[in-house]
Structure 1
Amino acid sequence: MDFAAARFAESLDAAWRRRAPIFEDGEVTAYRVLDGPGDGVPGVYLDRYGPAAVMNVYEDAHLSQTSVTTAAQLTLDMLAPAGLEAVYVKPFARDRSRLGGRSPDELRAAAPRAGRKQPESLVVQEYESRFEVRLYDGHSTGLFLDHREHRRALSQRRPPRVLNLFAYTCAFAAPLAAVGAHVTNVDVSARYLEWGRRNLALNGLEPSAARFFRMDAFEFLAYAARHREERFHLVILDPPTFAAGDRRRGVKPWKALDDYPALVEAALRVLAPGGSVFAASNTRELAGNGALARLVTKALGSAPAWQPLPPWPVDVRESGRVAAVLFTP
């Protein structure tokens, strides 16, 4: 084993020991095993989804393909006793806009870098919720692991009506609907909203527990502001860093640094009295040093009443990568 491989194995072993309580408890089967520099492996993020893992490898990891293959095999060897069967690899550019819409073939390859092929979709557990994930369906798997504790905490607040913007596969919606909330999910992607419907069905929820709108977030907020019956006790904002527009459908491009303040302002217009806003971002410029909270305060004109959120889970160790706030204006 060369020096780089030995260092990776050492970091992985220490990281896995830190995650032992998650694995042993069994309530959560999707979690982060390696969190980049937070676990001493810059540019490498390893997420476990039941019997399989996905290794996200960024350019700043400076790893050759041979080294990545070695790391995948080391991961499989170390975690096989804990039930791991496969390791998939997703190469990432820090700025995906430079790819011009193209993506590496491996993102959709059914064969893993190490281990045996997994089904096209798997079901993972997150406390009382179940989610469908897809390991070789592009850059994402359908579930963002960072917000695990936030999903549970928001459901524990039991808001009657919830607006879930940038809903993606509706992972926030499932635990909320399970405790009786009526959730309105909004996303520009019909495919992801259909995935969201499957997630709610996986949790035994009736179709009437949620609504699904294929719309731009600003378009829906403008519609809701005009209709008094469209008021919500919780609004969830978890937008991407950037998103392409669709001129044909009238969807404008999104850039978090430029557009987030207007999003916050628009969300306030559809809040029920005493309602709260959950705002999150993985945009680097907003994720560290209280930047997201300052953006919210500036957008509101004064500091809101901040509500407590749980600490980041033990498997999310890199600082300045994602931020979240909960507030009542």
Structure 2
Amino acid sequence: MYIKDVMACLEELSPLAYAEDFDNTGLLVGNRDNKLTGVLVTHDTLEEVVDEAIEKDCNLIVSFHPIIFSGLKKLNGSSYVERTVIKAIRHGIAIYAVHTALDNNFNGVNAALCDALGLQNRKILIPQKGTVKKLLVFVPNKDADHLREALFAAGAGTIGNYSNCSFNLEGTGTFRGEENSNPVIGERGITRHEPETQIGVTYPRHLESRILKTMFTNHPYEEVAYEVTTLENRNQHIGIGMTGELTVPLQDIDFLKQLKQKMKLECIRYSGLLNRKIKKVAVLGGSGAFAISHAKNAGADVFITGDIKYHEFYKAEKQMIIADIGHYESEQYTKNLLFEHLTKKIHNFAPALPGGKVVLSEYNTNSIKYL
């Protein structure tokens, strides 16, 4: 196995195309073409985690948070970031980070939080814009079925819970091959009128290169007439934060007590009780203050996140409870999610190949302690 094989497995779970623009995801350190000795999965990449990777003979660290967030202008070991990167390079250890690419996945960070709380009827809280693309392509009628099926097989034509979706119009296409053309149908210098089908399909943004390659490969023409546009349609499966519902509503104080117990929390900072039952819950792993208004607009009874500042608690406006359970605590199940995904994928991909081991880091990288 090679490092790039693990990267392909991670792309299936959290395509980097959906990472936020401010983020730094993907392969941060190392060579994707290096042979793999093992994968260590962690929440954060620190010096101690690199030491653990060395001890366990893992030359790839898969981390939720990126150790390099903004640009490094020097590498002299004067900060924990520089020391971590230097040690990883010195020992030939690659570092890959998923961060907001996994945050924005329907089965990612917030799904793990919903699982822990037993939430049902889940929906994305803030759908990411520009994730749905549309392809229009014109093809001779006799080749339309073949091309359409090839596009479906490549991942086009899926809308929500439906697959093989397309819209088709028949008409007449005209073209004339010039001196250097090599027309499949018709002759150079003669205008051709060809019965054609316009095929329209949508596809997720991260599959664009695959969809276009499939189109060119399966289209009979030397020059393919097509259009690609970005749609503003709401995507049900890509975006940050999530809402869900309790199967049995709980009084707010009882819900907070259960939250503390289920998430194994030292404390909860919250905006005050409203003396009513909790049914709809909004969650956002990590720093979620920016989503308070979205949670209120979604009709949440409580919004669970981390890193809420003093004045931001007032934004609850007595319409819901804001519960700050801590940044790390709200993401604590993320490395387990990554570990389980990679264990399953790598075992199916290469159960007997050298390097096919996945190890869950034993180091607690939470930088905040409680007394």
TM-score, normalised on structure 1?
Answer: 0.28
Query: Which has a greater percent of helix?
Result: 1
Structure number, greater radius of gyration = 2
**Structure with greater contact order relative to length (CA < 8 Å, sep ≥ 6):** 2
TM-score, normalised on structure 2?
Answer: 0.25
